[in-house]
């Protein structure tokens, strides 16, 4: 039985997990979705309600019925003949996503994570309501394009309100990528209606923090890692100043662990990365849950055996 790894060609974390699987004598077929259709071939047939056939390239072929688990590790987008008109390329993309993607999604195997579950869980407003239902603490939040609503929420203390992106924070302008980090609002930020009227704008109460935690769940294992920031920028958004960070493994309160396991069961995710703020009085406040968290940098910083845990989960497959 083979583990299918869908990852980009350059991905050190995928390399490490594939090596760990090889060390366990587990067959692996690794490919990027960007290889389809020019370098990756699909031959699938539906018989008696079950898909059989093969997925392969010039070097490796795997039978669909021989796949034990699938790790969707941030693969690239399908790539088509650039000579095709844009409309035809978009048609081909849709057919590839629904064809190859649909066949793989129908396989009754362990997914980390299944694309349909990721599609459900990507919405942060849904994450917050679900987290609260599961017993986790969440932040008072407003999502609005109404200026007066935003001003009422900020009240007389806009410095105690932050704004954040609901999706990927990168914005490409003139060939350069700019990152919209989480930041605390000032009075000037809300001085004009256009500050919030351009789109759905997310505002949250600023939560005082002793430190933050990235909690990674992989199968039945958890890795709560504290992120200590030494600069004001990093304390607002630790992504903005990586050099100012220090990491350590910590113990998760039992009530938080119970809430996280309820969340994982409700979303049917095999792994996830939860971000928490830990307040000075020890309360864990959940910020978001990522369905495709990075693990390599945290293992390198703390020695946490996350690559091993991922290999074990993928090798075990569905139960």
For residue 132, what are its two tokens? 């609260």
pLDDT at site 174 = 67
Q: Classify 250 as helix, strand or coil.
A: coil
3-state secondary structure (DSSP) of residue 112: strand
pLDDT tens digit sequence for 256-275: 999 999 999 999 999 999 99
**What confidence score (pLDDT) does residue 157 get?**
72
Q: Quick one: 122-137+208-303 is in which CATH superfamily?
A: ATP-grasp fold, B domain (3.30.470.20)
Q: Low-confidence residues of the chain, pLDDT below 50? A: none
d(CA 147, CA 151): 6
Q: Parse the chain into domains and list their residue ranges.
A: 2-108, 122-137+208-303, 141-205
Q: Which residue has 């200590």 as its token pair?
A: 228
Task: Answer whether the bond into residue 124 is a cis peptide, omega within 30°.
Answer: no
CA dist 290 and 311 (Å) reads 19
Which tokens belong to 202? 């997310």
Backbone φ and ψ of 68, nearest 5°:
-100, -30
The pTM score is 0.91
pLDDT of the residue at 195: 82
Q: What pLDDT, on the 0 to 100 scale, is given for residue 158? A: 66
Beta strands at 67-73 and 2-7: parallel, antiparallel or unpaired: parallel
**Exposure string for 190-209, b = 16+ CB within 10 A, e = fewer:** beeeebbeeeebbbbbbbeb
Alpha carbons 227 and 57: distance in angstroms, whole number: 42
Residue 319: predicted pLDDT: 54
Q: Give bridge partners of residue 224 from the DSSP assignment.
A: 215
């Amino acid at each position: 039985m083979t583990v299918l790894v869908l990852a980009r060609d350059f991905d050190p974390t995928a390399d490490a997990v594939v090596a760990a699987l090889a060390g366990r004598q587990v067959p692996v077929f690794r490919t990027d979705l960007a290889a389809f259709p020019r370098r990756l071939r699909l031959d699938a047939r539906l018989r008696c309600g079950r898909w059989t056939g093969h997925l392969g390239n010039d070097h490796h072929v795997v039978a669909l019925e021989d796949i034990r688990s699938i790790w969707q590790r941030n693969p690239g987008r399908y790539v088509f003949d650039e000579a095709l008109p844009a409309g035809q390329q978009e048609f081909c993309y849709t057919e590839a996503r629904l064809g190859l993607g649909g066949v793989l999604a129908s396989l009754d195997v362990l997914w980390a994570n299944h694309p349909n579950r990721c599609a459900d869980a990507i919405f942060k407003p849904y994450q917050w309501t679900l987290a609260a239902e599961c017993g986790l603490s969440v932040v008072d939040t407003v999502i609005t394009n109404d200026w007066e609503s935003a001003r009422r929420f900020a009240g007389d203390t806009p410095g105690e309100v932050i704004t954040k992106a609901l999706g990927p924070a990168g914005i490409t302008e003139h060939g350069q990528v700019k990152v919209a980090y989480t930041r605390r609002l000032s009075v000037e930020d809300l001085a004009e209606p256009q500050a919030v009227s351009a789109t759905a704008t997310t505002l949250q109460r600023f939560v005082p923090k002793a430190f933050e935690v990235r909690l990674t769940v992989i199968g039945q294992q958890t890795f709560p890692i504290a992120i200590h920031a030494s600069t004001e920028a990093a304390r607002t958004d630790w992504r903005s100043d990586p050099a100012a960070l220090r990491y350590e493994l910590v113990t998760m309160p039992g009530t938080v662990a119970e809430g996280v396991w309820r969340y994982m069961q409700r979303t049917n995710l095999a792994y996830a990365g939860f971000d928490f703020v830990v307040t000075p009085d020890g309360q864990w406040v959940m910020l978001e849950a990522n369905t495709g968290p990075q693990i390599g940098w945290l293992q390198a910083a703390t020695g946490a055996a996350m690559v091993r845990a991922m290999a074990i989960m993928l090798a075990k497959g569905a139960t």
